[in-house]
Structure 1
Amino acid sequence: MNILVIGNGGREHALCWKMRQSSLCDQIFVAPGNAGTSLIAENVPIGINDFDALGKFCLEKDVDLVVVGPEGPLVNGIRDFFEQNALLKNILMVGPGKIGAQLEGSKDFSKQFMIRHHVPTAKARTFNASNLTEAFDYISTCKPPIVLKADGLAAGKGVIISLSQGEAKAVIKEMLVNKKFGEASSKVLIEEFLNGIEVSVFVLTDGKDYVILPEAKDYKRIGEGDLGLNTGGMGAVSPVSFATPSFMKKIEERVVKPTIEGLIQEGIDYKGFIFVGIMNVGGEPFVIEYNARMGDPETQAVMPRIKNDFVDLLAAAAKGDLKGKQVEIDAHHAVTVALVSGGYPGEYKTGKSIVGLEKDVDALIFHAGTKKQNNNVLTDGGRVLAITGKGNSLEEARAQVYETAAQVYWDGLYYRKDIGQDLMNYKG
């Protein structure tokens, strides 16, 4: 199969790395890709939302399968664009249409979907700028901490936890009136705070049947000890110690099955990934969010643990043929650490030369925000690299990832040194 992967981050590099191992894989193209994907695939200089150019490229190169990495093209309707074109409609695609992608593209849509289908989730109400007074009144009835979520896409940064009612009122005004997150915060959910520990669960579905991929725990805050600003993700661990077989069974019965059945009931033909953000509250699962694609950097920790031919699974999902498929999971542990530009998630500089990538290391190095220039690899984003260590234990995987991270350098490099540490002695 000729495969086109859309995106340019660490998630897409990890997907390409996994697909490259498949006997079904002929050529992999990545649009637009990065310095890392260029080592195992052919980068194509087409923007992720340039559907016309992506479609023409698929026809020129006889692409059989399109795998959409980021949420933007899904929310903007790339599947709908392909399906409405007579020449493109038979190309297999992993990723939902515009309506299904609202599970991620609109927090309000996804919350109402959960309520309709009795998926356990936090209580919430949605407000816009025209009913700011009602929002203030509602906040006055809420017990802090109070969660405020921008309705639309905000690059993983649209959730703010306020520690007092006064702070929550100031924040919601900034979001709704001052458009802190642009159009993404034209509507804001005020949500009950759930006290627990998070786990990310990944489902691949063909719209009727599904498989559950290895779970992961990600680390969103920039600072060690989970302090500071939210980021796109500073690291991930898989497996997750508290995601026991009995807990995962609860997630499947109470969350995954009702979600798939809900999509079927509402006539939403969904072929792709569903990322379910779960809060473990005293051993009970509550959904905090859906995403319509794989997570980043969780993908970099999950892919090395899948033993299957991954292209076979993806093609089966895209064809509506997942029934009877099983995911084989490697028992080893994976720890992923994001190496980021100084200043991220605020302002940062790019174009810094990366040293140490040529060294022979045991860990996997996935590129995120990188580009090639005159045989040099330069930083080209906030999250620059994602390094994944593997081992027979969490301790071994952590040792490997940090040993490799210490060998890479660029001016302003920063990474958290405590990824996975909280799970070392987790008692629940």
Structure 2
Amino acid sequence: MNILIIGSGGREHALAWKIKQSDLCDDLFVAPGNAGTNSVATNLEIGVNDFEEIERAIIDQNIGMVVVGPEEPLVKGIRNYIDSKPNLAEVLVVGPSADGAQLEGSKDYSKEFMNRHGVPTAGSKTITSLNINDGKEYLETLEGPFVLKADGLAAGKGVIITEDLNEAKDTLEEMLGGKFGDASNKVVIEEYLHGIELSVFVLTDGKDYLILPEAKDYKRIGEGDTGPNTGGMGAVSPVPFADAEFMKRVEEKVVIPTVNGLNKEGIDYVGFIFIGLMNNNGEPSVVEYNVRMGDPETEVVLPRIKSDLTQHLIAAAKKELANETIEFSDETATTVVAVSGGYPGSYKKGNSMTGLGQEKKGIVFHAGTKVSGEEIVTNGGRVLASTGIGDSIQSALNLSYDNLSKISWDGMTMRKDIGQDLLNWKG
């Protein structure tokens, strides 16, 4: 089967790397891809939201299955577009329809969904410019820290957490005033969830599901979890505090009600559900849903899967997931993200990179890179994700950092403390 992956980040390089290992994959294409996907697949210069060009590529390349990486084309309805075309009737799609994608496309919608189906989550209130005073009064009822979330898509940066009540009120005004564009036309104010965060990933065909390896990611730019949120600076899998008992609670209290809720509401959901969780004394509470794999969590989750991911994806798209069994390794995978100087603020693109391809163990996944003439240059904020695999967190981290030590570009930076909080975890 010829397969097309849509996207250009580290997640898509990891998906391409894993899918290409399967005998079920013949020719593999990525649109638009990056310098890393170019080494395992054929890149197509097509934007992720250019549905007509994607349709043309599906026909021209005889694509049997489309795997949608990022959230934006899902929210904009790429699955609906493909499903509406009679000439694409036989094409399998991994990714939910636009109504299912609202689980990520609207924080307000996702909170209401959780409340309808009894999924544990923080209390919240949705605010617009019309009831901004209600929002300020609601903030006064909370103990803090104060959590404000842009309702729509904001590239992983639409969450503001502050300890100061007055700053929270000012931030609410800034967000409703356009801080995140249309994404913050509505703002969800949430109670702060205490505990330790992790990510759980589910592949579902709308009825049955597989739970993939869990991961913990590191969102803030600065060491010690300081500074502004980013798209993710590193990740670790497995997570020491996500033992079998906790994961059983996650399945019973979160995964099953979520999948059943989609089914009850008539949402034809085929694809991944990323569940951001807080573990508070062994009890799970949902922070957010995403409707695709996380990045950089994908770069530690997929290397731990021993069974054939491509087979699982095909089964999900055919609604035959009940027949599948997932297997994964007991080894630890860690990834450390190297970013452009200035990220998550403004940063320069086009910096020449040296030292790529020297790793003997581990995998360096490309995120914000592109081929320019004879060299590879930076093309984004998050540039590379260096994944190490070992029998412990420390051994995996040693590989992650060792491979990055051989690579350089002007302004390259990374966190040096990924996974340190888990090294001597005792609960």
**Which TM-score band applies after superposition, normalised by the shorter structure?**
over 0.9
In structure 2, list runs of 5 or more residues that go unmatched.
Answer: none
Is 2:130 the partner of 1:130?
yes
Residue 220 of structure 2: aligned partner: 221
Whole-angstrom distance in 2 between the partners of 1:334 and 1:190: 34
Whole-angstrom distance in 1 between the partners of 2:164 and 2:223: 24
Whole-angstrom distance in 1 between the partners of 2:17 and 2:7: 14
State the secondary structure of the residue aligned to 1:179. Answer: helix
What is the identity, as a one-letter code, of the residue corresponding to 2:276? G
CA drift at 1:328: 0.3
Residue 337 of structure 1: aligned partner: 336
What is the identity, as a one-letter code, of the residue corresponding to 2:45? P
State the secondary structure of the residue aligned to 1:285. Answer: strand
Residue 254 of structure 1: aligned partner: 253
What is the identity, as a one-letter code, of the residue corresponding to 2:261? G
Whole-angstrom distance in 2 between the partners of 1:140 and 1:11: 39
CA drift at 1:403: 1.0
Residue 80 of structure 1: aligned partner: 80
Within-5 A mapping of 1:9-158: 9-158=9-158
TM-score scaled by structure 1? Answer: 0.99
Whole-angstrom distance in 1 between the partners of 2:359 and 2:186: 49
Is 2:348 the partner of 1:349?
yes
What is the identity, as a one-letter code, of the residue corresponding to 2:83? E
CA RMSD, 1 decimal: 0.7
Preserved CA contact (<8 Å) 2:358 2:403: no
Within-5 A mapping of 1:209-288: 209-288=208-287
* Per-residue deviation, residues 213-232 of structure 1 (Å, max 9, x unmatched): 00000000000111111000
What is the identity, as a one-letter code, of the residue corresponding to 2:397? R
Whole-angstrom distance in 2 between the partners of 1:287 and 1:168: 22
CA drift at 1:112: 0.2
* Per-residue deviation, residues 310-359 of structure 1 (Å, max 9, x unmatched): 11000000110000311101111000000100000001111111110132
CA drift at 1:139: 1.3
Preserved CA contact (<8 Å) 2:3 2:27: yes
Residue 325 of structure 1: aligned partner: 324
TM-score scaled by structure 2? Answer: 0.99
Residue 172 of structure 1: aligned partner: 172
Residue 367 of structure 2: aligned partner: 368
State the secondary structure of the residue aligned to 2:31. Answer: strand
Whole-angstrom distance in 2 between the partners of 1:228 and 1:380: 23
Whole-angstrom distance in 2 between the partners of 1:41 and 1:75: 26
CA drift at 1:294: 0.1
Whole-angstrom distance in 1 between the partners of 2:390 and 2:180: 40
Residue 3 of structure 2: aligned partner: 3
What is the identity, as a one-letter code, of the residue corresponding to 2:80? D
Preserved CA contact (<8 Å) 1:142 1:165: no
Whole-angstrom distance in 1 between the partners of 2:401 and 2:4: 32
Comparing 93-102 with 316-325, which one deviates more in the overlay?
316-325
* Per-residue deviation, residues 374-424 of structure 1 (Å, max 9, x unmatched): 220000100000100010111110111111111111111001111111001
Whole-angstrom distance in 2 between the partners of 1:193 and 1:174: 20
Comparing 350-359 with 255-264, which one deviates more in the overlay?
350-359
State the secondary structure of the residue aligned to 1:100. Answer: helix
* Per-residue deviation, residues 167-188 of structure 1 (Å, max 9, x unmatched): 1110000001x21000000000
* Per-residue deviation, residues 265-290 of structure 1 (Å, max 9, x unmatched): 00001000000000001111000000
State the secondary structure of the residue aligned to 1:255. Answer: helix
Residue 395 of structure 1: aligned partner: 394
CA drift at 1:360: 4.0
What is the identity, as a one-letter code, of the residue corresponding to 2:31? A
Whole-angstrom distance in 2 between the partners of 1:6 and 1:360: 27
State the secondary structure of the residue aligned to 2:321. Answer: coil
CA drift at 1:137: 1.4
Whole-angstrom distance in 2 between the partners of 1:209 and 1:3: 23
What is the identity, as a one-letter code, of the residue corresponding to 1:383? R
CA drift at 1:361: 2.5
Whole-angstrom distance in 2 between the partners of 1:370 and 1:63: 25
Whole-angstrom distance in 1 between the partners of 2:359 and 2:61: 34
State percent identity of aligned pairs: 59
What is the identity, as a one-letter code, of the residue corresponding to 2:260? E
Residue 289 of structure 2: aligned partner: 290
Comparing 350-359 with 10-19, which one deviates more in the overlay?
350-359
Within-5 A mapping of 1:406-421: 406-421=405-420
Whole-angstrom distance in 1 between the partners of 2:390 and 2:141: 48
Whole-angstrom distance in 1 between the partners of 2:39 and 2:214: 28
Residue 404 of structure 2: aligned partner: 405
What is the identity, as a one-letter code, of the residue corresponding to 1:351? G
What is the identity, as a one-letter code, of the residue corresponding to 1:298? E
Whole-angstrom distance in 2 between the partners of 1:238 and 1:382: 23
State the secondary structure of the residue aligned to 1:353. Answer: coil
Whole-angstrom distance in 2 between the partners of 1:121 and 1:324: 31
In structure 1, list runs of 5 or more residues that go unmatched.
Answer: none
What is the identity, as a one-letter code, of the residue corresponding to 2:319? G
Preserved CA contact (<8 Å) 2:3 2:63: yes
